[in-house]
Chain A
Amino acid sequence: MTETVSRATSCTVACAEVWRDAGEVMASPFGTIPALGARLARATFSPDLVLTDGEAALMAGTAPLGAGPDAYTLEATMTYRRVFDVVWSGRRHIMMMASQVDRFGNQNISAIGPPDRPKVQLVGCRGGPGNSVNHPTSYWVPDHSPRTFIDTVDVVCGVGYDRATAAGPGALRFHDVRRVVSNLGVFDFGGEGHSMRLVSVHPGVALADVVAATAFPLAIDGDVPETRRPTDAELALLDELDPRGAREREVKS
């Protein structure tokens, strides 16, 4: 077992774990580290995972990050229009990014500030509303701070537990906000009333740092373990799947 593990590598392992036991579903990772995590999961403990090429097809095999079309073969078409067949059938576990996430898993990637004239216009809600009420949805936050782990998000894009409950059975039937992985730790919604709970802290991170970087009270059950370290076999695979160390540019150690 390795003694030192980079923060980016811990985050990658934590993201891969999101897809453990996922079975034959489409993994849709946003961000470099989730993309690498999904590939690591498929190359190891979740071999049936379905990955896209980022264009319009499903990718056979597990190609390195940034590899061109020559490095892999395609197994089926998956155009944007057909992605919605998958989304609404539930055979997908997405990991979106969150510019803001709150205690009950509401996510914002739309805008900061008032709707008519936002202070910061972000990309837009994308498929967040539909994803979060149709299939397992997790979030990746590479810059954990009280501004990203916030009391109230400015725009609810991905729907959290409180809002899904208020919206009724149509929203709740397939609602499943699973996990949040940040540069500091791993979280689920096992706290009281489906509130955010600290699952593990990454190696080198103090519990107090996580608490201080979070604007709302986190549920903490007893001794919080350290995020699982990669095995030697996984480290060797990561060298293959991320030959240029792209993950280290998304999260600093």
Chain B
Amino acid sequence: MADKRVSADEVVGELRSGMTIGIGGWGSRRKPMSLVRALCRSDLTDLTLVSYGGPDVGLLCATGKVTRVVCGFVTLDSVPLDPHWRAARQEGRVALTEFDEGLVYLGLQAAAWRVPFLPSRAGLGADLLARNKDLRTIDSPYSDGPYADGADAGASFVAMPALRLDAALVHANRADTAGNAQLLSPDPFFDELFLGAADRRFVSAEEVVEAGTLAEHGPISSVSIHRMLVDGVVAAPGGAHFTACLPEYGRDEAFQRAYVKSAADPESWAAFRNRFVDVDDDGYRRAVAETVEETA
């Protein structure tokens, strides 16, 4: 079996400017932050992000990597709005393609199933349809015949296009060297679909174990990402910090507040970036530990 272990830098080396990158997790929960910081430090630009948006979106916007975000929201959960994302939008630096969050799910599913679209009522009558001239509706083909549903005869539906990704990045509680991954937190979110929708698929994990041994660490139903969905595995202990990665750790609320405050002015951001973004993972962990001591 192939050994798929790679470094964060090797992941970045697989990516190019202008790509569409999907990022797993949800809001400020189980985001692949170690890989996100590696993207922030890279020379990549002009990225389009697809995300159930959290600080991944804020950080990549603040470091100038992003020109467009495809999402239904950006939130930090315990802090409703991400100030870095707001600044990028309010200064006109980043475009938004807004979808209902259920449509994002359908778009990823369509890409993973290799169909051009999936139909939905979501979006009918809403401005996401009125404002997105590329988005189409489709009339139900079942207006007559044995499959007809009288109440929907003649009805139109949003044809949610496949959201094909050049690459997907997700963070798991544990992975094996072959690329299977275990999600022990209560919600697997849409990670499996991000991987299914992408050409290049990367999983970072709190721990990487020998191939085929994940079932020793939890029920087999928790190994919901199989190796056919994964090209590269990155060992990244604490790799979702400061977002939640249950059961290993909850959200680091104090650190998230520091992230929020760093948007206050250019000096605060420069200091935050210098200390917590433009450093490798060891440097990051040291800086976080020092911060904890300073505030203790």
- Which residues in A have some Cβ–Cβ distance to B below 8 Å? 55-57, 77, 79-81, 84, 87-88, 110-111, 115-130, 132-134, 155-160, 163-164, 166-171, 173-175
Contacts and interface: CB of A to CB of B under 8 A. Distances in A.
15 contacts: A55-B187, A80-B190, A117-B89, A118-B90, A121-B85, A124-B71, A126-B72, A129-B124, A133-B121, A158-B126, A169-B155, A170-B124, A170-B140, A170-B155, A170-B156
A123 B80 contact: yes
Contact of B189 (A79, A117, A129, A170): A79
Main DSSP-derived SS at the A contact region: loop
Contacts of B196: none
B293 to A, nearest CB: 27
B92 A163 contact: no
A130 B121 contact: yes
Interface string B50-74: 0011000000000000000001111
A135 to B, nearest CB: 10
B189 A128 contact: no
Interface residues of B, number: 50
A173 B75 contact: no
A159 B186 contact: no
Contacts of A120: 86, 90
A174 B122 CA distance: 11
Interface stretch (B13-21, B32-40, B101-109, B198-206): B101-109
A173 B151 contact: yes
Contacts of B86: 120-121
Interface string B136-167: 00001000000000011111110000000000
A128 to B, nearest CB: 7
B125 interface: yes
B152 A87 contact: no
Given A128-B100, A133-B122, A123 B127 contact: no
Contact of B122 (A117, A119, A130): A130
A126 B104 CA distance: 10
Contacts of A80: 26, 52, 187, 189-190
Contact of B152 (A55, A79, A155, A169): A169
A100 to B, nearest CB: 12
A170 B152 contact: yes
Contact of A123 (B81, B152, B188): B81
B186 A126 contact: no
The 4 closest A-B pairs by CB, nearest first: A130-B122, A124-B73, A170-B155, A117-B92
A8 B9 CA distance: 53
Contact of B73 (A125, A156, A166): A125
Nearest to A174: B121
A127 B103 CA distance: 9
B270 interface: no
B121 A115 contact: no
Given A121-B85, A125-B100, 13 more contacts: A55-B187, A79-B186, A87-B102, A110-B98, A124-B53, A124-B71, A124-B72, A124-B98, A125-B72, A129-B124, A129-B129, A132-B125, A155-B127
A167 B128 CA distance: 13
A157 B127 contact: yes
A251 to B, nearest CB: 17
A33 to B, nearest CB: 16
A131 B93 CA distance: 30
Contact of B123 (A56, A111, A115, A129): A129
Contact of A121 (B89, B102, B105, B124): B89
